[in-house]
Amino acid sequence: MKRNILSIIAGLLWLVQPAFGQSADSVAVVTKSWSVKSIAKGIVWKHGHFEQLFGSHQDVNLVAIDLKKYRRKIHIAADSARLDSTSQIAAAYGAVVAINGGFFDMKNGGSVDFVKVDNQVVNRTRAQTERADAVLLISRRKTEIQSAASIDYEYNKVPNVMLSGPLLIQDGVAEVLNSNPFNDNRHPRSAVATTVDGKLIFVVVDGRNKLSAGMNLDELTKMLGWLGADDAMNLDGGGSSTLYVKGATETGVVNHPSDNKKFDHMGQRPVANIVYVEL
């Protein structure tokens, strides 16, 4: 029996991206008994609490979306100046699932990085930063994540673009990130990824609480790789990190946003934009 279990674990680990290696943490992620709920055909919400992942409690929520079925149902919602909670924006746009988007001006509103929605530029980049080096590109044909340096995203014909970052994984290979407090310290994190089997994944890791420490970007990258990410980018994290699943809770928020310093679903921070899926 023990030999059979070990064989199953080895098989599961073989399926994850080989560039991310095998460890006690990778085994914990790959063999996790997630709480799984089907939201709609082709959309699955998973929640997992880890007592020991990267040496700490970690609480992770993710939504996996079948791109073949929903490639024309993925959108960006953004306002050039107004800030609202992720759940408010999601509800206003009829989203079934949503995740907070890119970095924004907390005082004056609006994204601080380039955002285009339905061929209309909502915000232009206010100042070039090291971390905003990835773009989420959404068209009716496909959704993809690319290095910002690899494409002229401001003048590309793709109708929906969100600049954020850092880029974490490209073509199954982890990006080499510079050492700095933003990358190295543990915080709540939000990320979006695509997989080789045609899934779009929204991921939120809670943090700043004894029940979930949060992750640095190296840890987040590894976990995304173990979850099968082929391309992945970081989004705005910290108090902004929010994952929305319609009807799952009173507000639809399934993670534990940290702005109210409580481990509940009520601590959302107003944000400038979201990425969402409609039915």
pLDDT reported for residue 18: 58
Q: 196, 199, 131, 140: which is closest to 166 by C-alpha?
A: 131
- The total number of structural domains in the chain stands at 1
Amino acid identity, position 183: N
Contacts for 150 with CB less than 8 Å, ≥ 6 apart: none
pLDDT reported for residue 219: 99
What would the pLDDT profile of 138-153 be if each residue is shown by its tens digit? 999 999 999 999 999 9
Per the CB < 8 A criterion, the answer to whether 36 and 243 are in contact is no
What would the pLDDT profile of 197-224 be if each residue is shown by its tens digit? 999 999 999 999 999 999 999 999 999 9
Per the CB < 8 A criterion, the answer to whether 227 and 201 are in contact is yes
Mean pLDDT for the stretch of residues 34-59: 98
CB-facing half-sphere around the CA of 253: CA atoms within 13 A? 22
Structural domain including 142 reads: 2-277
Model pTM score: 0.93
What would the pLDDT profile of 4-32 be if each residue is shown by its tens digit? 544 444 444 444 555 677 899 999 999 99
Mean pLDDT of the chain: 94
